[in-house]
Amino acid sequence: MPRAAAAPWARLGSAAIDETVLAVPLVAVLLLGLRSTRSPDGGWHLASTLALVGWVVAALLYAVVGVGEGQTPGQRVLGIVVVDARRGTPIGYERALLRTVVLLLAVAPCGLGLLPLLARAPGSRRGWHDRAAGSVVVRGSLA
C-alpha cells in the first residue's frame, strides 16, 4: 500500500531543522575565521578557506548520508522519509547525491525548482530533485 506524500509544511520544517543544525557550525567557522585568521592585508588565511570548504563538504555529507539512509535528523523529527518512488526503500548514497545536486541547482535560480512541491495533488508533490533520483518524500518512518 503506497504511503501518503509528505505535506509541504513538513518538508519545509524538516529543511529548517536541518539548516539550523548545519548553520551552528558554519557561524562558528565564520566567526573564528574572521576573528583569528585575518591576514595583515585584511584578507582570509588559507586556514579559513579550508575550514569553510570543510564545512561545505560536511554539509553535503550530512544531506547525502541522511537522505541515502532514508531520513535526515530534521525529517526524523517531523516523521517523513525519502524513499524510492517504486519500492518504498531508502534510495542509497548515489541517488541521494544526485538528488542533492539537482536540489542545489533547482534552488539556485530563486528556488523555482521547488514550485512542484506546492502542488495540491499529493502525487505531484515531487520536485525536480525527487524526479531525478526517482524518490518521493512520504509520511512515516523506515521501521
What are 1-44's pLDDT values in tens digits? Answer: 468 888 889 988 999 999 899 888 877 777 766 555 555 555 55
Q: How many domains does the chain have?
A: 1
Query: What sign does the CA torsion over 28, 20, 90, 92 have?
Result: negative
Question: Would 18 be classed as within a structural domain?
Answer: yes
Confidence (pLDDT) at 102:
85
Question: Would 3 be classed as within a structural domain?
Answer: no
Question: Would 1 be classed as within a structural domain?
Answer: no
Confidence (pLDDT) at 25:
81
The CA distance from 36 to 5, in Å, is 47
Question: Would 70 be classed as within a structural domain?
Answer: yes
In terms of residue numbers, what domain contains 129? 8-139
Contact 78, 38 (CB under 8 A): no
Band of pLDDT at residue 115, cut at 50, 70 and 90 = low
Band of pLDDT at residue 104, cut at 50, 70 and 90 = confident
Question: Would 50 be classed as within a structural domain?
Answer: yes
Contact 96, 35 (CB under 8 A): no
User: Has this prediction a pTM greater than 0.75?
Assistant: no
Helices marked H in 1-143 = 8-36, 46-68, 73-77, 92-107, 128-133
Contact 93, 65 (CB under 8 A): yes
Question: Would 125 be classed as within a structural domain?
Answer: yes
Confidence (pLDDT) at 43:
57
Question: Would 16 be classed as within a structural domain?
Answer: yes
The CA distance from 22 to 56, in Å, is 10
Question: Among 1, 17, 6, 10, which Cα is nearest to 136's?
Answer: 6
Question: Would 2 be classed as within a structural domain?
Answer: no
